[in-house]
Structure 1
Amino acid sequence: MLEREPTLDELAAIEAEMPSITAGVDLVDAECRVLANPADVLARRAHRRAMSALLSLLVQEANHDAAIKPAPVYMITNLSPAAAAEAA
């Protein structure tokens, strides 16, 4: 099997994914702390912060993607009720 170095495009893609990767690792670490000691208040707080950070990042990514590629717009041209076969 031939081994090769990653291309610049591949490195850029990895770099772009690093915030998601880091947030995911932080969440798994926090989950492990909670599982190891469910009564640990600091572990539960760290888990909430890690979950919040990951969700915030996902929202930012979704908003960024929506700004780049807007959702399709559908026009309603027939305002009459749908036929029974169309409604199913």
Structure 2
Amino acid sequence: MSTAKVPEIEYAAFDAMKEVASSLKAACLTRAAEAGNEVESQWWIRQNWLVEDMVGEVDATDIEAIRSAAALFAQRLEALSTEHKAA
């Protein structure tokens, strides 16, 4: 069985996307821990799972898919950060 060779730029971009996703997952789990009730806590935990699922679906050889996912994760992370500062 052969393995597809991933160009360095895609590899670096994929790694960077995973770092942003990791930060977003941490923010979701922090929100879950801070939640005032079980329903809200579970919602944040499910958001964490959604990010995990999305990372798993990104093709590591498709630079546009990687960039799109990274942009989405970064946008959501920024929104959570802004919401947290306002609270």
**Short-chain TM bin:** 0.3 to 0.5
User: Which structure has more RCO (C-alpha within 8 Å, separation ≥ 6)?
Assistant: 2
More helix by share: 2
Larger Rg: 1
**TM-score normalised by the chain length of structure 1:** 0.47
